[in-house]
Structure 1
Amino acid sequence: MKIFCIGRNYAAHAAELGNKAPTGNPMVFMKPPTAILPNNKPFYYPEYSNDIHFETELVIKIAKNGRHVQPQFAMDYIGGVGLGLDLTARDLQNELKSKGHPWEIAKGFDNSAPLGTEFFAPEDFEDLNDIEFRMEKNGEEVQHGHSRNMIFDLTALICYVSQFFRLQKGDLLFTGTPEGVGPIAKGDELIGFLMTKNGEQQLFQTRVR
């Protein structure tokens, strides 16, 4: 299983961090499979960072194998839609960026990708390009996004990533985070919600320890 992640795919999020939104092509990075934190397990704050941030994201599960996917076939590669967190060691990321170094350790460390407990089929949504999702921290809403606000939509992301990497059934695509990211602390409770045709679904509930 491969975990593809898209950076700065919401203009408001790029702006809140003082970054330029990408133009031309999506910004792609990857996490290793060991980043996945499943089944609402707690996240244990690592000793190597003092500034872990949450980033709530729609997650696409790839339905089948393919390369060089063409736009008219891209939606056929969506096997399910879920929700996850791209946890980021912001202090490590900023230090590495300042040196011009890659920042995998700030994004791909163990358990840095808490994943929702369920994936919903494409037909469970009115419009895959307008999916609503949100996250609460300690009972207060901190992020609220709609996939219609992505700079690069799902078709564009699938087509672009498949130019460089063979998509395989079960791969995951984290599609970027809206504005509202922020730090987590020990004791925090993070709960993610996804809107489907049948109403709002709770997909993860993670405690920070």
Structure 2
Amino acid sequence: MNSIIILYILIGITVLVSWQGWGNYQLFNRLKFDMNAILNGKQYDRMFTSAFLHADTMHLFFNMFALYVFAPVVLSIFSDVVFILIYITAVFFGSLFTILFHKNQGWYTAVGASGGVSGIVFSAIIINPEMPLRLIFLPFFNFPGWVFGLVYLGYSMFGMKHLKDNIGHAAHLGGSVAGVLFTIFLFPQLINQQAIYIIGMLIPIAIIGILTYKKNQ
């Protein structure tokens, strides 16, 4: 299967499920991440199905746009199967981190592909940290991928502490960890090639994780 096609299929499924969820409250309620339903109802499938739902069109657009921008870097060195495996693993880690940070909040719910997208974003950054990026509204201004990674982590930290938007910000952190570690596991040569960037990503991830975990205990 062509790599670009697998990316379009993933985006298409996510858009379709999100769109269906917006018009069907029962479907949305059954697929979303729900702490009580997962821990007490043992509905563990929500740890994965919630990744295909989004809070609104803007939330969906930014996640899918990030996936569209960074996925080709990952697909340039890994097969379609490995790409999907990284994505699914990152979704799972995102849900695990969400449970870890919010396990005492039985009312907590969230939606979004944040975990999976974060995994792909940080996998791409570790592979090519100097990849040139530009903002849609500032097309003449370029900045390296690692800068985006730090800003992304900062936004996740702010979201976990201050925002009440039903978006799975804790999943950003879990997905980021999965993306970095799984990519290194699959491509260990990167430890020597990108050591400073790997350390630069893992240190703020660890600090954010520790501070957020303590805050929620």
**TM-score bracket for this pair, using the shorter chain length:** under 0.3
Q: Which one has the bigger strand percentage?
A: 1
More helix by share: 2
Q: Which has the higher contact order (CA 8 A, sep 6+)?
A: 1
Structure 1 length-normalised TM: 0.24
